[in-house]
A and B are shown apart, each in its own frame.
Chain A
Amino acid sequence: MTPIQANQMPDLSDDFRQDIESSFPPKLVQEAQAVFRGQDTEVNTKAPRRIVSSENAEGEPISSRELHGTDHRYAIVAEARKAIEDVELRDSLAREQIKNAGIVKAYGQRVEVFRSRTAKG
């Protein structure tokens, strides 16, 4: 059901248009406006991509009940936790690499000192 819009009645005088609009029950007008706002919102503001897909393993959309169900929440939390752990592991490995490189470099520098003290020239 599409509400009649004043601008769709160009052949009507302004006074008459206002009369017609004012004759609509206010509740109906509000509902009509809400429908239009809702459509606009849907078109313009798509929900951001979730970490967990809103589809099941077979690619079928998950119902709202399933989406907000306990199992699905667990899946979202588990996946987010795994992602965080992966990042932490990568950070930890990177820190370990940096630390080890520093240790080996220090050995090399000490060896260099020994050689400088001992070698000819």
Chain B
Amino acid sequence: MISYLLFIGTLTAIYALLSLGLVASWGQAGMVNLGLVGFFGLGAYCSTLLTLLGLPIGLAWVAGGLLSAVMGIAFCLLTRTLRGDYLAIVTLGFGEGLRLVELNERWLTGGSDGISGIPAPFKAAAGELFPWLYFAIAWGIVLLAAWGLNRVLGSPFGRALRAVRDDENVAAVAGKSVLLLKCQAFGMGAALFGLAGALYAHFTSYISPDNFVVQLTIYIFLAVTLGGYSRLVGAILGAVAVMSILESSRFAAEFVPGLNAVQIASLREFAIAVALIIIMQVRPQGIFGLKNEKARAPAQPDTAPASVVSSHVK
């Protein structure tokens, strides 16, 4: 049981890292990235291939994140005229395109055979303690990323990002370089997706293009929507909640009488969809709502409730 919980806990950390990346690009800068699983795969393949060439795993992780960031920034420059739904559609296509490259460039990626036997850090040395070690590493990286993002997003740079999210024209009029800010936010998000992919590859020791399908994107969007799409703490809590729904439904399904295996499996998929609908109905702003930021004015009491702000944003 403990090793199962550690395994799920480590996967949760990887989901949390993806959610943090989505908060950075979507929640803070307003750029929907439906292709996040593409960057996730890019990081995974980059880190795997470099490791197999002999690069130390730690450096390969960094390289996976960097390559993703570079691709993200390049993608952002290409799509600089798009926003909102149009950008969302293009990112979806981009993610799927990356998967097709992984599928068809057999000389590099092994095609749909995938790559197995990816080494994990200190696996032999840690022995029985390896699951604990990887769990600690993964959550350590999540906390580090959350702390770093918290610092960055709390700075004037973060306020500028949110200005771009709320109204690009206003931000431009205020003298902010909108394109630069967007590229930085999208790149930050992509870097985290890539890093998460690298962590995933070395954790499960096997990757194939089938690992990087849209399903995961939906889980991450659910996590971020659940937690509050602009909040770092929401991203982490949302990832924990989504994984809890995914895995606890496995145990709950055994107590549903009179259904065959296919019906139970379908019911579990259904539970995810219902969860998303309920959240959007009951608490569209997520567990942690958008924070209202005002210029410091100590004499004036803070009156505007968060929900009012969230309803006019978008």
Asked if A and B bind, the verdict is no
User: A interface vs B, CB < 8 Å?
Assistant: none
